Chain A
Amino acid sequence: MLQTGLLHFPKGSISTLEGAASSGRSALAARVLADATAGGGAGALVEWHADPNGFFFPPSLETAGVALERLVIVRACRPLDVVRAADILLRSAAFNVIVIPAVASRAAVWSRLANLTHRAGVVLLAVGIACDELRYFASLRVECTLESIDWIGAPGPFRKLCGYDVCTQICKHKRAVPTGAARVKVG
C-alpha cells in the first residue's frame, strides 16, 4: 500500500481519481507522486496533448513535494499512445507510481495494464472521468467533489485563492468495504 496521508493506494493495481474539473483530483495525484519520489523512488507522469484537463504544472508539483528530477514526464499525442507509454513504463518496473489520464480505451487494454500493474507491483493512477472499462478493472475508485473554496481579501488584486475543501468518496475497493468518505483540505 502506498500511504499518502489520507488514502492507501494499493500497489499492484489500478486506482482512479475521478471527478469534474477543480474537484481536487490533481492535488491528490500530486500528493501521491510526492510520496513516491520523496524517498528516492521514481515516478512517471503520462500526459496527453488533447487532454481537456490540461498539463500538470511542474512548479505546482514541486510545491506539493514532488522531486522533479525523479519524475519522468511523457507527452503522448493520442489516447493509444498513453496506454502504450504506460505499458512500457509498467514493464520496466522501475517506477513506484505512474499517473496517466483516464483515457477511453477497450477492455482488453485495461485488462493488459491491470495484469502488468500486478506483476510490476506499482501504483497505476488514472486521473479524470473514467470510462466503464476502466471502472471495471480499477481496484480502487475515488470520487472527488469540490465542497467549498477559501478566498482571502476583498475582490480585486489583493484577493487570493487560498485553497478548497474536497470531499473524497471511495466508490469501489476490491480489498475492503467500499464505503467511507473524507474531507480533504487542499491548500
Chain B
Amino acid sequence: MILCVRVTAETEARWEAILDALDALTPLIEDGGTAAFCEMRGIAGDPIRWLHTVTHVLTPFEVPFALGIGPNRFVASVAARGKRTCARGEESEFVAPMPLDVLPIDPHTCERLRMLGVRTLGELAALPHGPFVRRFGPQSARWHALARGIDDVPLIPRPRRMTIERTLFGEGSAASEEALLFALRSLISRTVDDLVVLGQRAAELVLDLQCEDGAVHEIRVRIAHPTAREGMLFDLTRAHLEGVRLEAPVEGLRLRIERMESGGTPLSLFSTQDPDAEAVELALARIEAALGEGAVLRAFSVDGYRPEKRVVYEGFSAGMMTKRDTKRDAKPEPPKPTMQLRTFEPRAIDLVMQAGVPRFAGTPPQTIVDYAGPWRTVEDWWSNTPLTRDDYDIMLDDGTLYRIAHREGCWVLLGVYD
C-alpha cells in the first residue's frame, strides 16, 4: 500500500524537514515535489494506524496537509484529495467519479475530451482502449490505465542528503595563527577520514570559527574540482582564512561538508597541456581572500551593438578551464596581431563640432585629424527611456585613436585603441 502526504503552501526548507520526519514511518519515500509517497508494504499496523502516526508526525509543523492511502501511487494521490482509504481491488470504482484534471493531461486535451462528453475517469475508462490510444497518441495509454486505477510505476526513493560535520571545542583557545592552523589541520584530517569511509569527495565545505568574544565567522569554501585530499582541502581553507580578520582568540571550530560528490576524478586523455586545476583553484582562492570577493572574473562575449553590451563577466571557476571548445581550438589563429580596444568607465569630454564634423577634443583641446562615424545606435525605443547614441572613432594629432560617443547632448569617452 502507498500512503500519500500532500502539503500545501510549503517552503523548500520545511519540505525537506517534513520528508526527514516521515523517515520515521518508512524507509522508502518518493519526493513528488508537492506530495510525498510512502511505501507501507511490510510496515506494522493497518491504514488507520498509519494515518494516525503520520498525523502525529506532521502536527508539530503546523501546516495544512492531506493524507490518502491506496494500492498504488495514483490512487493514493486521489485518495489524498479527501482523507480516505482505498482498499486493494476497489481502485477502478474509487477513482471513477473523479474529474479529468486529476490525470497528468494538458488542458487542451482535457478540453477535447470534455467536448466528446468525457468528464470523469469512469467515463474515460469506459472508452475502448485501442481506438482511444490511436486517437490521442501513445501517452494516452497511461491515462487510460490510470482511469482504471492502474499505476504500475514503482516509487523512486528520494536521494539521501549526507553531511559530514566535525567539531573541535573545549580544548583551549587558539590565540596565534599557528595554533589555529594546527587545529584546522587536525579537523580536516578527521573530516577526510569520514569522506574516505563514505567514498565521497568534498565539493563545498563550511568552517565556523567561534571566538572568545562570542563572534562566529563562517567561511564557505566552494571547490570546483571536488577532492578528498587532505592537503588540498587544508590549503584551500587556509587561503580563505587569509581574508578573515579575527578580533579574539578562537575557542571552537566546526567543519561541515555541505556538498559531496561520489566517484573518481575525471581526467582527460589529452590533458598534458591542460593547466593544473587544483593549483589554479588555490591561487584564485588566495586572490579572492587578498583582494575581496569578485576580484577574479571570467569574461565571455555576447551579441550586442554597443561595446559595453558585448561582454559579460562572471566569477571564475577552475572547472571551466578543462572544458575545451574543439571547434574553436581547431580554428587557425589570426596571422597578425589585431587591434585592441581598451575600455574606460564612460567619462565626459569636451568636443567641438564644426559643420557636423568633430574638430577638437579634450581639455586643452587637441585637433582631431581624422575620424569615422557617426554610427547610430537606437535601443529601447519602445520604453520611456530610449537610448540614442552616435559613436565615432577619432584620431588626435598625437596619433592616439579613441572611441567616443555622443549621447543626450554630452560627449563621452568610451575607450582607446591600442
| Partner-B contacts on A (CB < 8 A) | 5, 20-31, 34-35, 38-42, 53-65, 67-77, 81, 84-85, 88-89, 91-95, 146, 149, 151, 153, 155-157, 159-161, 163-164, 184-187
Chain A residues, Cβ within 8 Å of B287: 74, 85, 88-89
State the total of A-B contacts with C-beta under 8 angstroms.
206
**In the complex, what distance in Å separates the CA atom of A89 from the CA atom of B415?**
28
Q: Establish whether residues A185 and B301, one from each chain, have CB atoms under 8 Å apart when the complex forms.
A: no
Q: Establish whether residues A61 and B298, one from each chain, have CB atoms under 8 Å apart when the complex forms.
A: no
| A95 smallest CB distance to B (angstroms) | 7
Decide yes or no: A27 and B273 within 8 Å by CB, A72-B296, A74-B296, A75-B297 being known contacts.
no
Tell me which of A69, A161, A187 contacts B298 (CB under 8 A): A69
Q: Main SS of chain B's interface residues? A: mixed
Number of chain B interface residues as a range: 35 or more
**In the complex, what distance in Å separates the CA atom of A31 from the CA atom of B337?**
6
Q: Establish whether residues B284 and A72, one from each chain, have CB atoms under 8 Å apart when the complex forms.
A: yes
Interface pairs A-B: 6 shortest CB-CB? A40-B273, A92-B283, A58-B299, A54-B342, A26-B418, A159-B372
Q: For the complex, is B113 an interface residue (Cβ under 8 Å from A)?
A: no
Interface string of B282-320 (1 = CB under 8 A from A): 111011001100111111110000010011010010001
Q: Establish whether residues B291 and A74, one from each chain, have CB atoms under 8 Å apart when the complex forms.
A: yes
Closest to B342 in A: A54
5 A–B pairs (Cβ distance < 8 Å), ordered by A: A30-B337, A71-B298, A74-B296, A94-B283, A187-B334
Chain B residues, Cβ within 8 Å of A62: 301
Tell me which of A40, A77, A146, A187 contacts B337 (CB under 8 A): A187
Q: For the complex, is B141 an interface residue (Cβ under 8 Å from A)?
A: no
Q: For the complex, is B17 an interface residue (Cβ under 8 Å from A)?
A: no
**In the complex, what distance in Å separates the CA atom of A5 from the CA atom of B338?**
13
Decide yes or no: A60 and B280 within 8 Å by CB, A76-B291, A157-B375 being known contacts.
no
Q: Establish whether residues B301 and A59, one from each chain, have CB atoms under 8 Å apart when the complex forms.
A: yes
Q: Establish whether residues B313 and A67, one from each chain, have CB atoms under 8 Å apart when the complex forms.
A: no
| Partner-A contacts on B (CB < 8 A) | 273-276, 279-280, 282-284, 286-287, 290-291, 294-301, 307, 310-311, 313, 316, 320-321, 323-325, 328-329, 333-344, 357, 370-375, 393, 395, 398-401, 415-418
Decide yes or no: A22 and B338 within 8 Å by CB, A57-B311, A69-B323, A92-B283 being known contacts.
no
Q: Main SS of chain A's interface residues? A: mixed
Closest to A27 in B: B337
Decide yes or no: A56 and B340 within 8 Å by CB, A68-B301, A73-B299 being known contacts.
yes
Closest to B328 in A: A67
| A18 smallest CB distance to B (angstroms) | 12
Name the residue among B283, B335, B343, B401 with the largest chain A CB count within 10 angstroms. Answer: B283
Name the residue among A41, A88, A153 with the largest chain B CB count within 10 angstroms. Answer: A88
**In the complex, what distance in Å separates the CA atom of A38 from the CA atom of B329?**
6
Decide yes or no: A187 and B401 within 8 Å by CB, A67-B329, A72-B298, A151-B370 being known contacts.
no
**In the complex, what distance in Å separates the CA atom of A100 from the CA atom of B287?**
15
Q: Establish whether residues B311 and A155, one from each chain, have CB atoms under 8 Å apart when the complex forms.
A: no
Name the residue among B274, B301, B417 with the largest chain A CB count within 10 angstroms. Answer: B417
Chain A residues, Cβ within 8 Å of B344: 54-55
